[in-house]
Structure 1
Amino acid sequence: GIYLFTRKSLRKNVIAWLVVMLLAVISHSNLIPQEYGLRIILLPFIPSDWTLHAFGMSGVLTSLLMQKYADREHPRKFIVILCALGVIMLIAALCSHPHWIISKIQATPSWLFYCLAAFFPLFGLFYWLTDVKGKTPWFDIIKPAGTATLTCYIIPYIWYAAQQLLGWHYPELLNADAPGLLRSLIFSLIIVQLTGLLVKAKIKLKV
């Protein structure tokens, strides 16, 4: 909705991005006391959490930066901008961590900042690999996640439901630390490959 007002103006979108990021912080803090009218006016009028809207605006901002600065012959400037944003987000994450836990469920600002600290540089890396170096085939293994995103998103919930019905759980060893991360990675790759098989069978969810 914000983009309908800002359109392709990079300056307006930067301002909008900063405002939304600030609102994400305010909504999870006591910077403005609950009883103040300003908090009532600013925070509840848009559904969902401001942290999630901040993710959306970060994507819009990245797209506009790409349109303006991305150049396959001279990619350095665009990549440097993204890396600089990543560093800024990392600093924000480290500063916010003492105040909020890292929680996706609670959509905390620290979770937002850490995610963006990884997102901006990784976007630059993938741009360099795919657009500049032409290594797009490297990512064919995860292609279904991008071409059938909704289908890929739904499949894990079917598995979770089956787990509950069967009363089956992962061994405790696979629920934390390095084994847990490895299990999550393997699970994700399996889900993506299942999505690819469904797409080949002409089974695909659409909005």
Structure 2
Amino acid sequence: MVSTKWANSLRGRWFFFGLSILINAFFNALTVSTNMGSGIWTASAVSLSKWTSWSLGNILFLEGVSVAFTNLLLLGRFDYFRLIRNLIFITPFSYLLAGFEVIFVHLGIAHLSLFWRCILDMIGLFGVAAAVSLYQRANLILHPTDDLPYILRFRFLHGSPVWSQWLSNVPPLAIVLLTLLFTHHWYGFGLGTIYNVITQGYLIGWSDRHVFAALHHHLDFKN
């Protein structure tokens, strides 16, 4: 049992941040390897990569930079430290995710039956939501695309994890639809993506209450 005092100390928050990065990369890679649909931001990056023929890594980085600056506009001030934290998150997370994805490919996840790939995809998407809940609560360093719904949630939407998640999904969903319009193909988008769009806000809210619940939200701005 983790004590509330330790969980919310600076040491505890860094521990949960590190744990959340591993969990997030692991389960994101699992969703990618199933080919059943990943989170909407990952799907949008894959779509842009296919459409523009740019590498997926470059697209992920550029998306992160764009969203990081959008976050500053929503905050209403130029927070250099927050921007640096957003940008620092991108590179190590991407390499961890890529490493785990290679492992899953070698394990043959993509060649499992449709039933088992669906199950693993759902498990992966739940794991991603739980990880997002952890590092949103620790609030030390966030991926820009996770910082976006966090800012929306507490600055504009009265703490609602559901509405903030849905609103933050509008830009990547628009990218996926534009790619479909111009290329006539879906890329990185599947049943798992639809499930993610509909449920992630609920799953984050559930994780706030049940996954290491001793860790509380640490806000660093006022409404």
Normalized against structure 1, the TM-score is what? Answer: 0.32
Higher helix share: 2
Normalized against structure 2, the TM-score is what? Answer: 0.30
